[in-house]
Amino acid sequence: MPELPEVEIVKQSLVKKVINKKINRVVIYNRNLRFKIDKNLEKNIKNKQIVDISRKSKYLIIHLNEGKFLLIHFGMSGTLHLSNNEFSNKITNLSFYNKQRLPKKHNHIVFFFSKFKLIYNDPRRFGFVKLLYSDQELKSFLRKYGPEPMDVSFNFNYLKSKIKGSKKKIKNLLLDQKFISGIGNIYASEILYYSKIRPNKIGRKVKNSEIKQIEKFSKHVLKKAIKKGGSTIRNFINSEGLDGSYQKEFKVYDREGKECSTRKCNGFIKKIVISNRSTFYCKNCQK
């Protein structure tokens, strides 16, 4: 589900609600997520206070007191929901919810706070949660991931050094989290549209001028997506139950057969499959 912008939105919507709050209790209904949830998770989280919330790549990081960190990855279909304690499984009191927004199935983890609960829901169970016990452990976990488009180390020289020597298709490079972290299937297609590069172009054939475009538009696209509250295709909502609207800005993603929106292009959006993922581009303006 979420790529960097969506996780960022979840982070932002959660910060206001849970900072400095104490987790009284955790109940896990299904431990079989992408990875089996550690059997000690409940007791290691119980009575811990949330001191901060951050995000790296597509991970939400919940900072607990005593230097522990709870990592949440949303996979394809994971979401977090805030709900009122008194009306546990019924309609919440919080005004921003409506009935449809509270899932009944696939609520795998519930964090109980004194006045509300936070629910991790994930129909496909491709997501996971992981408790890390120190700064060191967090650092070494995150070391596997490349810079995000907003980072200073995400610059022309870095991109060039990795792209020029690669036989990978450029779209697969953008999706490689070890190289760049945070971009997923939607934004990869969008970034390549703005950069005017065909998704199946081999890395070493990508020109310097095109690498500059990738640098520029990776930042642009993600920033704008965050500004618009992320993309809601089927089930993404922030933790307050609100949709994103960046899907209205899509130039190519999920627009197969539609007209290219580049002025005077008159081309149509084509869909191809690269490494089993749908990929969208305009044959006319992407070379």
Chain contacts with DNA (rule: CB under 7 A): 1-3, 6, 34, 57-58, 73, 75-77, 105-106, 123-126, 166-169, 172, 175, 177, 184-186, 203, 230-236, 274-278
Q: Which residues contact 105 (CB under 8 A, 6 or more apart)?
A: 123
Closer of 39 and 105 to DNA (Cβ): 105
| Half-sphere CA count of 168, side-chain side, radius 13 A | 13
CB-based burial of residue 43 (10 Å sphere; 0-12 exposed, 13-18 middle, 19+ buried)? exposed
Helix (H) or strand (E) holding 219: helix 208-227
CB distance 121 to 108 below 8 Å:
yes
Catalytic residue among 3, 190, 215, 240: 3
Residue entry with tokens 């960097």: 4
Residue entry with tokens 């538009």: 217
CB of 273 to DNA, least distance (A): 7
Closer of 57 and 83 to DNA (Cβ): 57
Instruction: Read off φ and ψ for residue 181, nearest 5 degrees.
Output: -110, 140
CB of 52 to DNA, least distance (A): 22
CB of 65 to DNA, least distance (A): 27
Closer of 153 and 276 to DNA (Cβ): 276
CB distance 22 to 47 below 8 Å:
yes
Q: Cα separation of 21 and 18, whole Å?
A: 5
Catalytic residue among 31, 212, 277, 283: 277
CB of 75 to DNA, least distance (A): 5
Active site includes 3?
Answer: yes
Active site includes 277?
Answer: yes
CB of 43 to DNA, least distance (A): 26
CB-based burial of residue 143 (10 Å sphere; 0-12 exposed, 13-18 middle, 19+ buried)? exposed
Angle between helices 208-227 and 4-18 (to 10 degrees): 30
Closer of 81 and 169 to DNA (Cβ): 169
Catalytic residue among 58, 101, 171, 251: 58
Q: Cα separation of 266 and 15, whole Å?
A: 45
CB distance 39 to 119 below 8 Å:
no
Closer of 177 and 261 to DNA (Cβ): 177
As annotated, the active-site residues are 2-3, 58, 277
